Chains A and B, each alone.
Chain A
Amino acid sequence: MTSRKLELFVGFFVALAIAALLLLAMKVANTGVAGSDQSYQLLAKFENIGGLKVRSPVKVGGVVVGRVASIQLDPESFQPVVALDINSSYNNFPETSSLAILTSGLLGEQYIGLQPGFVDENVEILKNGDYIEDTKSAIVLEELIGQFLFNRGNQ
């Protein structure tokens, strides 16, 4: 086999592999959010994080604006503290915004829904390291059933 033909085939092979990589990077994986690496951090305390995981998305009205960076337990209050990496292009959430742990679909994975609060002169904009005060914990199935039975019992 001549040198030219050999190089041609090997080049074709490598080109095919690069095309595969591009396909995987662009169409398959969500390189969008992973690409832009400018982010700032917000913190929040919850009663119960339910099935929330690190790297779970943070969504505003269904649009992904960030990801959960870490989940830790506050050593004094024993409350879960969640750190959120928010994309820097969304940098004017007021401190009256609220967070809720929601589930996508019936069996889907859990995510954090951010509801922007009202804005007036007294309200500050959240900066890196700020806490979001208004949080709703995840719905625990047993508590829900307990509530339901309690309500039924009251009727």
Chain B
Amino acid sequence: MLKQIQQLGANTLGTLQGLGRATQMLFGALWGRPRPIKNWHLYMKQIYVVGVLSLLIILVSGLFIGMVLALQGYTVLAKFGAEQMLGPLVALSLLRELGPVVTALLFAGRAGSALTAEIGLMKATEQLSSMEMMAVDPLRRVIAPRFWAGVISMPLLALIFNAVGILGGHLVGVDWLGVDGGGYWSAMQANVDFQQDVVNGVIKSIVFAFIVTVIALHKGFDAVPTSEGISQATTQTVVTASLAVLGFDFVLTAVMFGG
């Protein structure tokens, strides 16, 4: 029993240490005057790798989730004779919850694990060390562009996810199940508030983007430089980032929509 408690204590201390190192890494990467003009190409490349290459999975997932929402929602609403509320159902579910959260989870799995693996591998093959020895700060050159790429790309992906999902809902609800087209959009407009729903959803996805990107970068930077270590780090990124997103989602939802 005592051993378990000791282990728990050790794990907690380890987590706190990790948090401290992650903050150090972040400050080292972002503090001081930025030089984006010179490394413009680096930032663009990272936005491409992290954002553009995730487009496919986001588009397909958004479409299918929107369609499933419409399908499931219609069945339930029809029981109450409230089919005309399908639009708001799909829109609010996506904008407030599914858009930011599912995008974050998919992002953690696809882009987050790729970031961790890439940085871990750079560490294992001593590329980061040799950069240091050449008097180039690897935090500025490697970590910073990836950080900004993640924080910028993910909210954009969430917006696209939402839009595609709502269109998918329209496809199923209106074109397939026969809900009135005009009613779909007008009921939506009557019940979706820009500030309350759209903006809050964007705020959520920005917070999630920060969390996922920092976790991915930190796990890669801190990885044990062996193949086993990198594999462990990649797994940890996906698990930790996903749990953190879900946890923060609860907190944010309570704050934004709880009252």
Contact = CB atoms under 8 A, between A and B. Distances in A.
Do A's and B's CB atoms come within 8 Å in the complex? yes
A29 B163 contact: no
A10 B51 contact: yes
Given A10-B47, A16-B55, 5 more contacts: A6-B44, A10-B48, A14-B156, A23-B163, A29-B194
Given A6-B45, A9-B48, A34 B163 contact: no
Interface stretch (B4-12, B20-28, B185-193, B247-255): B185-193
A34 B197 CA distance: 12
B194 A25 contact: yes
Interface in B138-159: 153, 156-157, 159
Contacts of A14: 156
A20 to B, nearest CB: 4
Given A21-B159, A28-B189, A34 B194 contact: yes
A7 interface: yes
A77 interface: no
Nearest to A33: B193
B80 A107 contact: yes
A1 B49 CA distance: 11
Contacts of A1: 45, 48
Nearest to A13: B52
Contacts of B193: 29-30, 34, 55
Interface string A1-32: 10100110110111011011101110111111
B160 A16 contact: yes
Interface of B: 41, 44-45, 47-48, 51-52, 55, 80, 82, 91, 95, 153, 156-157, 159-160, 162-164, 166, 185, 188-190, 192-198
B182 to A, nearest CB: 12
Nearest to B162: A24
22 contacts: A6-B41, A6-B48, A12-B52, A13-B48, A16-B156, A17-B156, A20-B162, A20-B164, A24-B162, A24-B198, A25-B198, A27-B188, A27-B189, A28-B91, A28-B198, A29-B189, A32-B189, A34-B193, A34-B195, A55-B193, A55-B196, A107-B80
Contacts of A10: 44, 47-48, 51-52
A9 B55 CA distance: 11
A141 B195 CA distance: 33
Nearest to B156: A17
B185 A27 contact: yes
Given A25-B194, A107-B80, A13 B156 contact: yes
Interface of A: 1, 3, 6-7, 9-10, 12-14, 16-17, 19-21, 23-25, 27-32, 34, 55, 105, 107
Contacts of A32: 189
Interface of A is mostly: helix
Most buried by A among B45, B159, B164: B159
A99 B48 CA distance: 56
Nearest to A30: B189
Contacts of A24: 95, 159, 162-163, 166, 198
Nearest to B152: A14
Contacts of B159: 17, 20-21, 24
Most buried by A among B163, B185, B188: B163
A105 to B, nearest CB: 8
Contact of B166 (A9, A28, A30): A28
A6 B47 CA distance: 9
Contacts of B95: 24, 28
B194 A7 contact: no
Contacts of B190: 30
